[in-house]
Amino acid sequence: MILRRRSTRTAALLAALALLAGAAVLSVGVGAHTIAPAQVLRAVLWPGDSADHLVVRDIRLPRAALAVAVGAALAVAGALVQVLTRNPLAEPGILGVTAGAGFAVTLGAAAGVAGGAPLELGVAVLGAAAAAALVGSVGHGSPLRLVLTGVALSSVLAGISLGLRLLLPEVFDRYRFWAVGSLAGREQAETAPALLVIGVGVGCALLLGRQLNAVSLGEDTAAGLGVRVAPVRAAAFLLVTVLAGAATALAGPILFVGLIVPHLVRPLAGASVPWLTAFAAAVGPVLLLLADVGSRLLLPTGELPVAIVTALLGGPVLIWAVRR
Amino acid sequence: MTALVLRRGGLSLRVRRRTLVLAAALLLAAAALAVAGLCYGPTWAGPDRVYEALSGAPGGPHVVIREWRLPRVLAGFVFGAALGAAGAVFQNLTRNPMGSPDVIGLDAGAYTGALVALTVLAGTPTQLTAASVLGGLAAAAVVYLLALRGGVSGLRLVVIGIAANATLSAVNSWIVLRADLDIAIAAVGWSAGSLNGVDWADLGVPFAVIAVLLALLAARSRAVLQASLGDDLAVATGIRLERLRLELVLIGVGCTATVTAVAGPVAFIALAAPQIGRRLAAAPGVPLLPAALVGAVLLQGADLAAQALLAPVALPVGVVTTAIGGCYLLWLLAREVRRTPASRSRP
Amino acid sequence: MRIARTALATAAALTLGLTAGCAGGKAGPDGAAAATRVFAADNGDVTIPAAPKRVVATGYAVPALLEASAPLVGVSTWNRGIPLMGEADRATYEKLPKVAGEQAAETNYEAVAQADPDLIVIGVPKPALADIDMKRLEAIAPVVAIGPSVPKAWRELSRRQADAAGSLAAFDAVRAEYDKKAAAGAQKYAAVLPKLRLAHLGAYGEVGKGNFQREFNGSWGTNVAQDLGANYYGEVKVRGGGSKDVSEYPSVEELSTAFAQADALTYSVAADGSLPAPVKYVLDSRLWKNLPAVKAGRVFPLRYTEAATYRSALRTLDAADAAFAPLLTK
């Protein structure tokens, strides 16, 4: 069913936000040992010095915030790419954009370029842009070809990374993190710049929605509505690379979030790009929070990188999307 | 078109002259690479020494060449041929240059099978082989069935394969992370294909299996060619398409999984070799013989590169083939775009 | 790898242990080949030369045999041990041809063959032996595998490794020196150390997984401090075999539960005194700063905890002595 009335959509968005809050509480409660929701609430509102409170405030809340930001960034980037390329299979992960960002960070770090978090972020965004440009120029035309190009690029980068790691083990072992996306152990890393960039990026994407809506109706229609196509497309492209790059800088390459979420929320948003973006920004974090909870439950000792859980979920979704 | 007909026993093959010349050239290249592979090592042994070793001279370096380098070189040749042929089979079946077994998730499935054999069963070589063949077959079957609606040709099959690949790879990492340390170590060695350390004991059964499969394939090569030119033509010449397809799938999966069981997943040979072979042979369809020989040359070359690139550290050959094969795939896609500018505007 | 003409000649004389007669070249160890003995190793009873002349060592056997001045002709790389090596050993290590990388799987069999050893000593943990083609190595020379089982076993292992390589005398001298120093240290701390309930934070946690390494008695980080009388309470929840019998990797969230009972804490630092990333990660967290032992100021950094030989353990002893010194003044 496709919801058309504005009030219905608003209600659905509110429901999604409520779901987000629930997922956040769940994700803060689950971990090495379970902390009851009431205790979680107390830790947030009346912080004390007990171990549970410290765990909630210093470890689980930052991690949940990370999941929210990364989930929103990837889902919105996915929605934008799908609109931009008119390709239901497009997604920053599958298209190799996150792989490019991760590879750039690894390379930059090995060359001693990416010192602090802001520089790392810059390098990641550059890598994302380079990968997106390459994949876009080779793979445009057919939706499936685009996917194939992204996969080919990812496997080339993976091969080179492995070779480099064997060549310079002491340099690259520290950056194994960039090979598989994960949200663990990041609570002390300097995440503020990337979080800020994601916040601004998602905001811009919401503002750009109306123009993109016009562009998605076709160039003539857009011109008729007084929207200049080229700048809007360029801005959307920029947003995709910035969001994907920032998400990768935070959590490493994570696939499929940008694919799953837009498909999930499309029935709610219909053809409206602003609503699609808004729903993606609300539901993306839910998906990543739940995947992160799953990553802690699937492995009794230690945890599974969250990117493995999203791949587990995402493969079937991709098949379903192709078969439609 | 110049053609000659070879007759030996009941088997008759129609081979174009160009294909014959090409095959001879490729065999020559493979032989040259084999000699280079026998000479190459931390100590370079001259061809004269290699000759002595092969003619059975005793002594240390001779044994190194005979017992260590020769099996590796032969494995490169035979496995490369098997992968190239399997790739050609699948590309013919799907009529799609990207429809190769590694792209559609067969390797990942075979790896899952091997992991199950390692973690749940005892992990004996027989179990490893059987489990990886079963895993590969299951993955191929699932991908095939999922892509069936609307025909298996086209990029759809490939994208479904990619999706299956991603899911299976995730499952594989999960199994490895859950496994005990020593099993995990053995399993990780499996994740990128490698010919390092293969010796005669590892090769007897796989070589026999591949020989049988390739012979079966050769017997069907004519039918394959006709089927690849069009269903109508094939049916008109009296080929039972469904049965042929099933046989071909079994042969292709058998080749890929056998190689995977011994060497781990060696990606992209199956993708690149048939396409290169087709261009060199300038033939319609995807001819099998050039594909197999190009595969042999490619894998041998990649294995030499893998040994030499970071020497003395030996790189798994799968890493080299992945990096090179990925570049090749990108180039293939880029070319396709340039050739068909009309597709740009297609939504 | 550069190959001189002489190397080729040497390789030509290499007999893979099949024939003893054709070693007619200049390096031929004619006289010694006769005397052999049977040595009990992880891979069974192996017949080895009584006085080996050309030894290849890998893994933990590398530092042990360097210190025992064994007649080495090839080693695996052993980067983690470099900061612990003495000047002379370090120079020898740098000069020796490398026949394998840090991982057992990176063994370069042809390079081993080229080194033309009469004995190969493999010092890798048992699970890693699966990555090594033993048949190939055995074709080159007798192979003895003497790998670490639990970390504290380095004492006996390094002795057996030195024994196999026929260098016991040099080994025992260093051990005597160590034992003397340890006894003196134990005397010095007899009044304070044995009473403390200690816990150790190791350097092998993984920030990317958000965990930390806790080491108990008999682990790398603790065994030398134990010689001074230190006692690390508790034991692992699940015995994982090998080093995981004496150390575990809980989530950083469990920091307070794990260390709450400790009177004092020790943690591993790098050879230059800097904090390894996994240790820094824990020390920077508020959970750590909230621990009773940390609030009481009873935390002691231990250097050189990777020691796997007596000579390097001498440095570990000195470092531990310096670290625990504040206990005596209080």
Contact of C287 with chain A, judged by CB distance below 8 Å, is answered with yes
CA distance B57 to chain C (A): 12
According to the per-residue pLDDT averaged within each range, which of B235-244, B290-299, C137-146 is highest? Answer: B290-299
According to the per-residue pLDDT averaged within each range, which of A76-85, B169-178, C83-92, C207-216 is highest? Answer: A76-85
Residue A302: pLDDT band (50, 70, 90) is low
Same fold across C5-20+27-166 and C191-329: yes
| Burial degree of B227 (CB within 10 A; 0-12, 13-18, 19+) | buried
DSSP string, B283-336: -SS--HHHHHHHHHHHHHHHHHHHHHHTTTSPPPHHHHHHHHHHHHHHHHHHHH
Set of chain B residues whose Cβ sits within 8 Å of the Cβ of C244: 181
pLDDT of residue C68: 85
Tokens 């030509």 identify what position?
C12
Chain A residue closest in CA terms to C258: A51
Name the neighbours of C, counting chains with at least 3 Cβ pairs within 8 A: A, B
Complex prediction ipTM = 0.79
| pLDDT exceeds cutoff 50 at A116 | yes
pLDDT of residue C14: 34
pLDDT per residue as tens digits for the range B258-283: 888 788 778 788 888 888 888 888 77
Bigger pLDDT: A117 vs C193:
C193
> Best residue in A106, A187, A190, A304 to probe C by mutation, most C CBs within 10 Å?
A187
Helix or strand holding residue C266 (H, E): strand C264-268
Helix, coil or strand: residue C121: strand
Chain C residue closest in CA terms to A180: C208
Go through the domains of chain B in sequence order and give each one's CATH number.
3-338 (1.10.3470.10)
Give me the architecture of the A75-181+199-323 domain, per CATH. Answer: Orthogonal Bundle (1.10)
Name the neighbours of A, counting chains with at least 3 Cβ pairs within 8 A: B, C
Tell me the sheet residues that pair with B11: B8
Chain A residue closest in CA terms to C260: A51
pLDDT of residue B188: 55
* Average pLDDT along chain A: 84
Contact of B179 with chain C, judged by CB distance below 8 Å, is answered with no
Mean pLDDT of C195-213: 88
Q: Of A23, A63, A73, A66, which is closest to residue A258 (Cα–Cα)?
A: A73
Contact of C121 with chain A, judged by CB distance below 8 Å, is answered with no
Q: What top-level class would CATH report for the domain C5-20+27-166?
A: alpha beta
CA distance B187 to chain C (A): 10
| pLDDT exceeds cutoff 90 at C232 | yes
pLDDT of residue C176: 93
pLDDT of residue A114: 53
Tell me how far apart the terminal alpha carbons of chain A are, to the nearest angstrom. Answer: 16
A94 touches A147 (CB < 8 A): yes
**What are the structure tokens assigned to B307, written together?**
């040994």
Chain A residue closest in CA terms to C280: A188
Length of chain A (residues): 324
Distance CA B165, CA B271 (A): 15
Distance CA A312, CA C30 (A): 63
Percent of chain C residues past pLDDT 70, beyond the cut: 87
> Best residue in B144, B168, B174, B194 to probe A by mutation, most A CBs within 10 Å?
B174
pLDDT per residue as tens digits for the range B333-342: 777 666 654 4
CA contacts within 13 A on the Cβ side of B85: 34
pLDDT of residue C13: 34
| pLDDT exceeds cutoff 60 at C9 | no
Give me the architecture of the C191-329 domain, per CATH. Answer: 3-Layer(aba) Sandwich (3.40)
Tokens 């007084």 identify what position?
A226
CA distance C14 to chain B (A): 5
Distance CA C182, CA A230 (A): 76
Tell me how far apart the terminal alpha carbons of chain C are, to the nearest angstrom. Answer: 58
pLDDT of residue C77: 85
* Average pLDDT along chain B: 78
**What are the structure tokens assigned to C28, written together?**
């031929």
Contact: B326, A255; criterion CB under 8 Å: no
Chain C residue closest in CA terms to B185: C128
In this structure, the number of other CB atoms found within 10 A of the CB of residue B347 comes to: 8
According to the per-residue pLDDT averaged within each range, which of A34-38, B44-48, B176-180, C294-298 is highest? Answer: C294-298
| pLDDT exceeds cutoff 60 at A230 | yes
C119 touches C164 (CB < 8 A): yes
| pLDDT exceeds cutoff 80 at A72 | yes
Residue C222: pLDDT band (50, 70, 90) is very high
Residue B210: pLDDT band (50, 70, 90) is very high
Contact: A60, C249; criterion CB under 8 Å: no
What secondary structure, in 3-state letters, does A237-293 show?
Answer: HHHHHHHHHHHHHHHCCCCCHHHHHHHHHHHHHCCCHHHHHHHHHHHHHHHHHHHHH
Set of chain A residues whose Cβ sits within 8 Å of the Cβ of B164: 315, 319
Set of chain B residues whose Cβ sits within 8 Å of the Cβ of C1: 42, 311-312
Q: Across the interface, which of A147, A153, A311 has its CB nearest the CB of B169?
A: A311
C129 touches C147 (CB < 8 A): yes
Contact of B7 with chain C, judged by CB distance below 8 Å, is answered with no
Chain C residue closest in CA terms to A301: C250
CA distance C329 to chain B (A): 45
Residue B123: pLDDT band (50, 70, 90) is low
pLDDT of residue C178: 94
Choice among A96-110, B94-108, B144-158, B199-213 with the minimum mean pLDDT:
B144-158
CA distance B51 to chain A (A): 34
Length of chain C (residues): 330
| pLDDT exceeds cutoff 60 at A35 | yes
Contact of B185 with chain C, judged by CB distance below 8 Å, is answered with yes
Set of chain C residues whose Cβ sits within 8 Å of the Cβ of B193: none
pLDDT of residue C269: 93
Q: Based on DSSP, count helices (H) and strands (E) in chain A, helices before strands.
A: 14, 0
Q: Of A285, A209, A203, A274, which is closest to residue A6 (Cα–Cα)?
A: A274
Q: Across the interface, which of C3, C19, C240 has its CB nearest the CB of B43?
A: C3
Residue type, C318: D
**Sequence-separated (6 or more) residues with CB below 8 Å from residue A102:** A124, A127, A178, A179, A181, A248, A252, A253
Look up residue C251 and give its DSSP letter: B
* Strands C264-268 vs C198-202: parallel, antiparallel or unpaired: parallel
DSSP string, C107-119: --HHHHHHH--SE
Choice among A306-310, C114-118, C125-129 with the minimum mean pLDDT:
C125-129
Q: Across the interface, which of C253, C260, C281 has its CB nearest the CB of A55?
A: C253
Residue A151: pLDDT band (50, 70, 90) is confident
Radius of gyration over every alpha carbon of chain A, rounded to an integer in angstroms: 20
| pLDDT exceeds cutoff 80 at A235 | yes
pLDDT per residue as tens digits for the range C141-162: 899 988 877 888 888 888 988 8
Q: Across the interface, which of B59, B181, B313 has its CB nearest the CB of C106?
A: B313
Percent of chain A residues past pLDDT 70, beyond the cut: 92
Residue B312: pLDDT band (50, 70, 90) is low
pLDDT of residue B337: 65
CA distance C245 to chain B (A): 13
Sheet containing C213-215, strands listed edge to edge, beginning at the edge strand earlier in sequence: C247-248, C213-215, C198-202, C264-268, C299-302
| pLDDT exceeds cutoff 50 at A257 | yes
Contact: C127, B181; criterion CB under 8 Å: yes
**What are the structure tokens assigned to B335, written together?**
């070319």
Residue B15: pLDDT band (50, 70, 90) is low
**Sequence-separated (6 or more) residues with CB below 8 Å from residue B309:** A163, B315, B320
Q: Across the interface, which of A60, A170, A187 has its CB nearest the CB of C79?
A: A170
Residue A22: pLDDT band (50, 70, 90) is very high
According to the per-residue pLDDT averaged within each range, which of A197-201, A309-313, C255-259 is highest? Answer: A197-201
Set of chain A residues whose Cβ sits within 8 Å of the Cβ of C254: 32-33
Angle between helices A97-110 and A229-251 (to 10 degrees): 60
CA distance B53 to chain A (A): 33
Contact: C290, A185; criterion CB under 8 Å: no
The domain limits of chain C are 5-20+27-166, 191-329
| pLDDT exceeds cutoff 90 at A71 | yes
pLDDT per residue as tens digits for the range C44-101: 888 889 889 999 999 888 988 998 888 999 998 888 788 888 888 899 999 998 888 7
